[in-house]
Amino acid sequence: MHPQSFRFSLFAVFAVLGTLLSLQAQADMVPRAPQIDARGYLLMDAASGQIIVEHNADQRLPPASLTKMMTAYIAEAELQKGNISEDDMAPISVKAWKMGGSRMFVREGTRVPVGELLRGIIIQSGNDASVALAEFIAGSEDAFADLMNQHARRLGMEGSHFVNATGWPAENHFTTATDMAILARAIIRDYPEHYGTYAEKEFTYNGITQQNRNLLLWRDPSVDGLKTGHTEEAGYCLVSSAKKDDMRLIAVVMGTDSEAARARESQKLLTYGFRFFETYKAYSAGDILDTVDVWMGDSDKLRLGLSEDLVLTIPRESHENLNAEVSVTPQLEAPIVKGQQYGTVKVSLNNEVLVEKPLVALENIEEAGIFTKLWHHILLFFQGLF
């Protein structure tokens, strides 16, 4: 090859390498999160549960009508269990009828279908509907509040405490942005058959049509929930969720200064998340991640994997830089129990550990017969010598 041709070829190779490195660098570039004008806020990937952006997310704040997300969640749980049905007729008490603030306009002494009350809570943010449904489910609003706190503990909402079903200002009634995201994720995950209600823009009851106060439902077609809240103490709050392709995000803003501000600041968070991050499924539940030797068993090989999908939230186009490291308990002996942990899998991105999950047995392995076990004992003895 002529020296000049060689130099040209070498230059071409370096140029290609430079382009690839430049593209990779661009793929990993994520700008700083936008400034959000709220007392507390958070952006979460609904699939992975990973928090992308947060500020004062664990500060205890008054939730206002975001409280009704828990009220609706409990009603959805009771419906799924079959304890109540949407056609059940709930009586309207004087207490429910007299509730101020946002209302569905139910009348004292009447009976209203549970399904209608649930829509009145989610779409119209009815305080009257919330109290009526709480009384129907638990007998009283106080008893229902105890149920709310039990569900909060079960879901891991460690910064929340409820004393009523509406979010009406009260001492010792508080939550956090983190907890509201946890609750929103549970609503979407646990009761998808009811989630469509959160996207409805209006609801008519008793001849009165009221619109959903979530302005993002009109502005962004990817937004399909969840709930607004406002009191003088809490400011203007919004928990919103949106889905684009295979990615669903949950945004929480608490303590903004206007209805327009809570929509604007929520939109900032959602736009940032969709533009610069992606939901990536690294492994599915049941995928075989390793096959290892087993002693004293009726099978000498064990397949290991995950009990649930391993989903990550990563900067867009960065999945090729992911690295998985498997660690297995040494010298496994039967019996092996399916689903029991026998190691870990650690996933890193650019040498930073993102997640560590249990590596579990994908099958049972029973103990071998006496002769096989004796032979394995002999092999292990000699293995120990050398």
What is the overall mean pLDDT for the chain? 90
Where residue 12 falls among pLDDT bands split at 50, 70, 90?
very low
Q: How many CA atoms lie within 13 A of 381 on its CB side?
A: 6
Strands (E), the chain: 40-45, 51-55, 89-91, 111-113, 202-205, 208-211, 223-231, 235-244, 247-256, 277-283, 288-295, 301-305, 310-315, 322-328, 332-333, 341-349, 352-361
Instruction: State the average pLDDT over residues 92-105.
Output: 96
Q: pTM for this structure?
A: 0.88
CB 125 within 8 A of CB 167: no
Q: Does domain 40-279 have CATH number 3.40.710.10?
A: yes
Q: What is the pLDDT of residue 385?
A: 55
Q: What is the pLDDT of residue 298?
A: 87
Three-class SS state of 319: helix
pLDDT at 27 over 80: no
pLDDT at 18 over 50: no
Three-class SS state of 122: helix
The domains of the chain are located at 40-279, 284-385
Q: What is the pLDDT of residue 331?
A: 85
Q: What is the pLDDT of residue 369?
A: 62
Catalytic site positions: 65, 68, 125
Instruction: State the average pLDDT over residues 167-189.
Output: 98
Where residue 380 falls among pLDDT bands split at 50, 70, 90?
low
Cα distances (angstroms) measured from residue 102 to each of 121, 122, 159, 161, 175: 10, 12, 26, 22, 20
Instruction: State the average pLDDT over residues 124-153.
Output: 98
- Beta strands 332-333 and 288-295 are parallel
pLDDT at 379 over 70: no
For the stretch 332-375, pLDDT in tens is 888 999 999 999 999 999 889 999 999 999 999 987 667 565 66
For the stretch 206-242, pLDDT in tens is 899 999 999 999 999 999 999 999 999 999 999 999 9
Q: What is the CA radius of gyration of the chain?
A: 27
Structure tokens at 321: 């830089």
Q: What is the pLDDT of residue 297?
A: 79
Distance CA 59, CA 1 (A): 70
Tell me phi and psi for residue 295, to 5 degrees.
-100, 155
At the second CATH level, the architecture of 284-385 is: Sandwich (2.60)
Burial of 103-115, coded b for 16+ CB within 10 Å and e otherwise, reads: bbebeeeeebebb
